[in-house]
């Protein structure tokens, strides 16, 4: 009888058993078992490639349909698979993968799948890997001067209650690397003003250290928040709430429309034009961490991005 407080063991815990299980799964093209190995490795190493599992399922299905047996794959097998994915469509999908960003994500997933096999101790046959898609990670980002202009624009927002909110959001998005969806899930207790940390919930759960300026910006916003939530009979648990009564939303949880509208107004105030400001803020945070000397692994852990390799 298993104790309810004990974690169940996994066949992937032991290196020898792990290799045997993965080798057997490859020999029979057992997609569920290989998918389990992929998920285990991603949790273990805090990898964030979202498409590795999809690539695994498609590759296994394709190899089985081609009549291949592991490890006796032709050297050009991955090239043929890649041609299928990019010029026609993935084996398990009706739509081709043609956008540069999508092809790069599939390429990252393919490489990561073989890293899982190496981690499992499986001997991989000599296979020719597709060329890296012509999609360098030139992630557009705001410069320090542009970020300073955005902060200045937020401080001069025509609606007073939105000024401190805008500044706090800019610091979290552009300095700490918090994602938009993560903002909405933050609760009041997730912010520790003494330790200057922020606990992020969700799939990329982590604790982020905050700069002095970011912590002060959140504390300043909380003064405005207290005035707003005091009007509600049931105070909301969320850290960030809507600060205006547009469509009756005063004091309710922050949502995408509110944040997008606020960022658009801040961009106007700063006289800056950008198609994807949230992405530019996130990659500013990534580059800031790298400039501080943090290891790439730590940067991906703090920001939740899949990779910081090859940044131009």
- pLDDT for the residue numbered 173: 95
Per-residue pLDDT averaged across 116-137, rounded?
A: 83
- pLDDT for the residue numbered 134: 64
More confident residue, 140 or 15: 15
137, part of any domain:
no
294, part of any domain:
yes
Is the pLDDT at 7 greater than 50? The verdict is no
- pLDDT for the residue numbered 310: 61
> What is the pTM assigned to this prediction?
0.64
| 159 and 257 fall within a common domain | yes
Mean pLDDT of the chain: 88
- pLDDT for the residue numbered 157: 93
CB 132 within 8 A of CB 155: no
Is the pLDDT at 226 greater than 90? The verdict is yes
178, part of any domain:
yes
Q: Give 285-312 pLDDT, tens digit per residue.
A: 999 999 999 998 899 889 888 777 666 5
The token duo for 237 is 């648990």
Phi, psi torsion values for 192, nearest 5 degrees: -110, 100
Give CA separation, 32 vs 39, 183, 211, in Å.
Answer: 10, 34, 43
| 283 and 156 fall within a common domain | yes
CB 237 within 8 A of CB 187: yes
| 25 and 108 fall within a common domain | yes
7, part of any domain:
no
More confident residue, 21 or 201: 21
- From CA 226, how far away is CA 229, in angstroms rounded? 5
Q: Is the dihedral of CA 246, 251, 257, 261 positive or negative?
A: positive
- pLDDT for the residue numbered 97: 85
pLDDT-derived band at 1, boundaries 50, 70, 90: very low
The three-class DSSP label of residue 47 is coil
User: How many other β-carbons are positioned within 10 Å of the β-carbon of residue 149?
Assistant: 18
Q: How many domains does the chain have?
A: 2
124, part of any domain:
no
| 23 and 106 fall within a common domain | yes
| 112 and 210 fall within a common domain | no
DSSP state of 233: S
Residue whose structure tokens are 């296994």: 60
215, part of any domain:
yes
Phi, psi torsion values for 19, nearest 5 degrees: -65, -45
Query: At 21, which helix (H) or strand (E)?
Result: helix 15-28
The residue segments making up the domain with residue 28 are: 15-119
Q: In what order do the strands lie in the sheet with 191-192?
A: 191-192, 197-200, 206-209
- Closest C-alpha to 177, from 277, 266, 297, 302: 302
CB 162 within 8 A of CB 244: yes
- From CA 127, how far away is CA 130, in angstroms rounded? 9
Q: Give 129-163 pLDDT, tens digit per residue.
A: 998 876 545 578 899 999 999 999 999 999 888 99
pLDDT-derived band at 234, boundaries 50, 70, 90: confident
- From CA 11, how far away is CA 23, in angstroms rounded? 13
Per-residue pLDDT averaged across 266-289, rounded?
A: 91
Is the pLDDT at 5 greater than 70? The verdict is no
- From CA 184, how far away is CA 254, in angstroms rounded? 6
Is the pLDDT at 177 greater than 60? The verdict is yes
Write the burial class of residue 182 (CB in 10 Å: 0-12 exposed, 13-18 middle, 19+ buried): buried
């Amino acid at each position: 009888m298993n104790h309810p407080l004990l974690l169940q063991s996994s066949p992937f815990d032991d290196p020898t058993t792990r290799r045997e299980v993965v080798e057997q799964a490859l020999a029979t093209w057992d997609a569920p078992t290989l998918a389990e190995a992929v998920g285990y490795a991603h949790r273990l190493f805090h990898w964030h490639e979202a498409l590795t599992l999809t690539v695994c399922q498609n590759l296994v299905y394709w190899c089985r349909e081609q009549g291949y047996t592991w490890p006796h794959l032709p050297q050009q097998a991955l090239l043929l698979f890649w041609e299928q994915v990019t010029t026609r469509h993935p084996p398990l999908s009706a739509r081709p993968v043609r956008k540069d960003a999508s092809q790069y994500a599939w390429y990252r997933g393919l490489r990561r799948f073989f890293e899982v096999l190496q981690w499992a101790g499986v001997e991989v046959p000599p296979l020719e890997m597709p060329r890296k898609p012509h999609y360098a990670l030139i992630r557009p980002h705001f410069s320090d001067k542009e970020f300073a202009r955005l902060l200045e624009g937020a401080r001069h927002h025509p609606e007073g209650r939105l000024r401190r909110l805008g500044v706090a959001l800019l610091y979290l998005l552009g300095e700490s690397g918090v994602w938009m969806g993560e903002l909405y899930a933050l609760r009041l207790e997730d912010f520790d003003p003494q330790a200057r940390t922020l606990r992020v919930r969700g799939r990329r759960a982590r604790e982020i250290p905050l700069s002095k300026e970011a912590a002060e910006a959140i504390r300043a916003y909380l003064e405005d928040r207290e005035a707003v939530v005091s009007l509600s009979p049931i105070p909301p648990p969320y850290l960030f709430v809507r600060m205006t009564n547009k469509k009756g939303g005063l004091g309710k949880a922050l949502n995408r429309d509110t944040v997008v509208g606020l960022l658009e107004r801040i961009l106007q105030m700063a006289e800056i034009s950008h198609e994807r400001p949230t992405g530019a803020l996130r990659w500013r945070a990534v580059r800031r961490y790298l400039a501080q000397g943090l290891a790439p692994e730590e940067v991906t852990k703090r920001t939740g991005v899949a990779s910081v390799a090859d940044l131009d």
